[in-house]
Each structure stands twice: as structure tokens, then as C-alpha cells.
């Protein structure tokens, strides 16, 4: 009988090599199992009312302030006036965002400069009305006030509009798949198909404020054999959608338009 010689324990180099090989195999398996693409990407165009959500939250806050302050009639104090002025200020800024486009950072800087000048003038003539008596008298008699029911009604109206938007977008949206582009629209689930290969996409960020509020922008899709471009406005998280599209379609070329 031949006696087997005892096996020597592995040295440090062999253990390190085995550990590295096991780690490489585990990493490779993990990468193989992790999803590298998504099956569908949904592109939804939202109406501009979604950008009024700061007004919605400000209405809730002002309603809570006036409710807990106990100011329910004409015998109100300064708290209700401040809450009302804050609400009107946020509403004015929000309406500027919805009404006008601010395509570049220079316009954004100009907007904040004008806002600071107006706010500074308001505070100056409110606490120093004798500085310019004519203007001081106007600000002295400017004491807007609303009760909590007014603010809660504003918040409720906006909330109902948001619910209506959530229902409406379920019947009008775009779906991008690796081999086709689908347009779902109508209450009867109408469907129109476009070829996805060689699909070209332009991404536009035309408004700095809208991008700040919802990271939104415009996508322009150029499908093959289609003479008219497909424009999808107000797409939230547009950079993330662009990354998903690039990963799904691989060779997709996404061009970014800069209005500056």
C-alpha cells in the first residue's frame, strides 16, 4: 500500500489568489443577475398647473397659521396679515414661472434681482413710511387678510385639479420599448405604433425655474419614416429619462439643445 503524503496547507499567495478568483466570480454573477435594461419607459406630458405645487403647500401653511392663531373675523392681528402676504408673494412668483420662460441663468439672476428690489422696497416703506410719505401711505393702508377657510379652499381646489391631472395622464402617454414607440391615448385605449430603431431624441430645457421645480424639460422624438416630430412637453426628471433611453436603445443619440 502506498502511503499518501500529507498535503501542505496553502500559503498566503495561494489563499490570496483563491480569494480574488472567488470575489471576481461573485461580482461577475452579481453583475450578470442585475438588470441592465428596463422593458418600457413611460414619457408623460404634464400640464403647467403641476408647477403650482408651491402655492398649494403655501396655502396649507397659511391656513394652518391663521387657524391656530385664532383670527376668524375682522378683529385680526398681524399674524394673519403676514400669512396672507406670504401666500400672495409665493402665488405671484409661481404665476411668473408658469407665465414666462426663463431659458438662461442670466434671466434667472435678473428675476431674483427684481424680486429682491421689490421685497426690499416693501419692507422699507412698511417700517419706514416717513421716508417717502406718498408711497409710505400706500403701504401703511395695505393690510391684506384672509381667514383659514380661504386658504384651505385654495388648497382643496388645487388638490382636485391634481387628482384630475393624475386621471387624465393615464389616457395620454408615450411608451418606449426597445423595438417600438407606442402612443396610448383616448378613453378607449387607442394605440399608435412607431418604429423605435434609429429613433433620435432632442432634449430641451427651456425654463430654468421649471427645471428647478420638477427637473422637467421637453423631449422631441424623431421617428423613422415620420415627417413630423413628436413633442412631449413638461416631462419630469428629464435627465433620468434620458439616461434610461440611452441605456435601453444603446446606440441612441441624444442631442441637447442649448438656447444660450
Q: For the chain, which residues score pLDDT lower than 50?
A: 1-10, 12-36, 251-256, 260
Q: What does the alpha-carbon distance between residue 203 and residue 256 come to, in Å, rounded to a whole number?
A: 5
Q: Spell out where the chain has E strands.
A: 41-43, 172-176, 180-185, 190-195, 200-204, 217-222, 230-235, 254-257
Half-sphere exposure of residue 46: CA atoms within 13 angstroms, side-chain side = 23
Contact 164, 50 (CB under 8 A): no
How far is 42 from 182, CA to CA, in rounded Å?
10
User: Can you tell me the distance from the alpha carbon of 236 to that of 216, in angstroms, rounded to the nearest whole number?
Assistant: 4
- For position 147, what pLDDT does the model report? 86
At CA 220, angle to CA 242 and CA 47, rounded to 5?
90
CA separation for the pair 221, 225 (Å, rounded): 12
Handedness of CA 243, 213, 98, 206 (dihedral sign): negative
pLDDT at residue 199 in the model: 81
pTM: 0.70
Q: Where are the domains of the chain?
A: 49-167
CA atoms of 57 and 15, how far apart (whole Å): 60
- Could you give the CA distance from residue 111 to residue 175 in angstroms, rounded to a whole number? 37
C-alpha closest to that of 72 among 167, 152, 173: 152
Amino acid at each position: 500500500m502506498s502511503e499518501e503524503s500529507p498535503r501542505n496547507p496553502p500559503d498566503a499567495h495561494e489563499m490570496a489568489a483563491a480569494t480574488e478568483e472567488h470575489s471576481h466570480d461573485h461580482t461577475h454573477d452579481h453583475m450578470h443577475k442585475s438588470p441592465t435594461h428596463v422593458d418600457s419607459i413611460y414619457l408623460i406630458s404634464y400640464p403647467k398647473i403641476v408647477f403650482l405645487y408651491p402655492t398649494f403647500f403655501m396655502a396649507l401653511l397659511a391656513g394652518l397659521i391663521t387657524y391656530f392663531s385664532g383670527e376668524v373675523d375682522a378683529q385680526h392681528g398681524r399674524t394673519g396679515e403676514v400669512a396672507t402676504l406670504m401666500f400672495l408673494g409665493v402665488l405671484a412668483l409661481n404665476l411668473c414661472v408658469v407665465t414666462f420662460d426663463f431659458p438662461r441663468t442670466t434671466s434667472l439672476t435678473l428675476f431674483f434681482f427684481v424680486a429682491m428690489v421689490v421685497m426690499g422696497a416693501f419692507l422699507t416703506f412698511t417700517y419706514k413710511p416717513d421716508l417717502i410719505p406718498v408711497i409710505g401711505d400706500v403701504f401703511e393702508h395695505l393690510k391684506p387678510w384672509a381667514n383659514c377657510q380661504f386658504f384651505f379652499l385654495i388648497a382643496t381646489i388645487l388638490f382636485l385639479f391634481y387628482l384630475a391631472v393624475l386621471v387624465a395622464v393615464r389616457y395620454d402617454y408615450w411608451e418606449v420599448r426597445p423595438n417600438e414607440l407606442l402612443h396610448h391615448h383616448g378613453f378607449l385605449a387607442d394605440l399608435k405604433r412607431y418604429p423605435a430603431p434609429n429613433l433620435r431624441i432632442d432634449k430641451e430645457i427651456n425654463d430654468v425655474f421649471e427645471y428647478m421645480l420638477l427637473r422637467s424639460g421637453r423631449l422631441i422624438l424623431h421617428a423613422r419614416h415620420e415627417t413630423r416630430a413628436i413633442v412631449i412637453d413638461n416631462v419630469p426628471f428629464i435627465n433620468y429619462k434620458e439616461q434610461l433611453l440611452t441605456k435601453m436603445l444603446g446606440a441612441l443619440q441624444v442631442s441637447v439643445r442649448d438656447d444660450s
